[in-house]
Amino acid sequence: MTEQAHPGKVVRLLLCDDHAVVRAGLRALLASEPGIEVVGEAADGLTAITLATSEQPDVVLMDLQLGGAIDGIEATRRLTAQTSARVLVLTTFDTDADITRAIEAGATGYLLKAEPPDELFAAITAAAAGRTTLSPPVAAKMMARMRTPTAALTARELDILSQLARGIGNREIARALHISEATVKTHLGRIYDKLGVETRAAAVAVATERRLLG
């Protein structure tokens, strides 16, 4: 049984995941924990914000990849700004970019779906009390990132990043900057490494968060 944030207090929880089967599984799992009450569930971020406003949960269990107008990061940002609920991310994604963006958006904790039930129960209780919980792989990535600060982007890499933000392909970037397409690919690899991402979209998202784009 999970140690509750306050003796006798039941943690009110809102589920947000765009997969109905996942929500049903979580609801069934959490029904076995007397210290947690599921007060609602949402399939998208906007619904989660609406329900959090009306139901006033202590914790929102948030997936990152959501259908609808906003993703889990933006939903987290709005929830922490507009409600008193704590947001505990529960996801399968453990890239540096996802972790950084979620924490910067205001998430209290970051848990992977592979964690055992007891860890999930403890993380929900900790989040309700305002304590941070990170899955061990996530904590390890955060520590590694702190020990090895991200190298600064060069002027040329910033130029290419700006072109990426405009949605321009490699060939067009090469023409605009008067370099070869192979050189563009080399720079992209270095940009991804420095930002801790794997895709163009993630690179732009992280660069926007860090205000690297002029």
Per-residue pLDDT of 4-19, as tens digits, reads 444 568 999 999 999 9
CATH code for position 103: 3.40.50.2300
Domain that holds residue 170: 155-209
Over the chain, what is the mean pLDDT? 88
Whether 2 is in a domain gets the answer no
Shared-domain flag, residues 92 and 47: yes
* Domain's final residue, options 126, 146, 166: 146
Quick one: pLDDT at residue 49? 97
* Domain's final residue, options 104, 121, 146: 146
CATH code for position 204: 1.10.10.10
Whether 3 is in a domain gets the answer no
Shared-domain flag, residues 126 and 161: no
Per-residue pLDDT of 46-88, as tens digits, reads 999 999 999 999 999 999 989 888 999 999 999 999 999 999 9
Per-residue pLDDT of 160-192, as tens digits, reads 999 998 888 999 999 999 999 999 999 999 998
Q: Label residue 148 by pLDDT band (50, 70, 90).
A: low
Q: Among candidates 210, 101, 105, which has minimal Cα distance to 158? A: 210
Shared-domain flag, residues 159 and 64: no
Whether 106 is in a domain gets the answer yes
Q: How many domains does the chain have?
A: 2
- Token look-up 């007060």 returns 39
Q: Examine the pLDDT at 213 and tell me if it is beyond 60.
A: yes
Quick one: pLDDT at residue 141? 74
Distances, alpha carbon 46 to alpha carbons 71, 84, 93, 98, in Å: 9, 16, 21, 20
Label residues 51-78 b or e (16+ Cβ within 10 Å = b).
bbeeeebbbbbbbbebeeebbbbbbbbb
Shared-domain flag, residues 105 and 61: yes
Shared-domain flag, residues 141 and 176: no
Q: Report the alpha-carbon distance of residue 173 to residue 164 in Å, rounded.
A: 8
Shared-domain flag, residues 85 and 177: no
Per-residue pLDDT of 108-146, as tens digits, reads 999 999 999 999 999 999 999 999 999 988 888 777 666
Q: Which of 40-49, 183-192, 200-209 has the lowest mean pLDDT?
A: 200-209
* Domain's final residue, options 118, 146, 174: 146
Shared-domain flag, residues 93 and 189: no
Shared-domain flag, residues 65 and 109: yes
Helical (H) or strand (E) element with 40: strand 36-42
Q: Examine the pLDDT at 3 and tell me if it is beyond 70.
A: no
Quick one: pLDDT at residue 111? 94
Shared-domain flag, residues 112 and 186: no
Whether 181 is in a domain gets the answer yes
Quick one: pLDDT at residue 7? 53
- Averaged pLDDT for residues 151-160: 85
Shared-domain flag, residues 51 and 75: yes
Q: Which residues pair with 67 in a beta bridge?
A: 44
Shared-domain flag, residues 74 and 141: yes
Is the separation of the CB atoms in 14 and 51 below 8 Å? yes
Q: Examine the pLDDT at 41 and tell me if it is beyond 60.
A: yes
Shared-domain flag, residues 101 and 138: yes
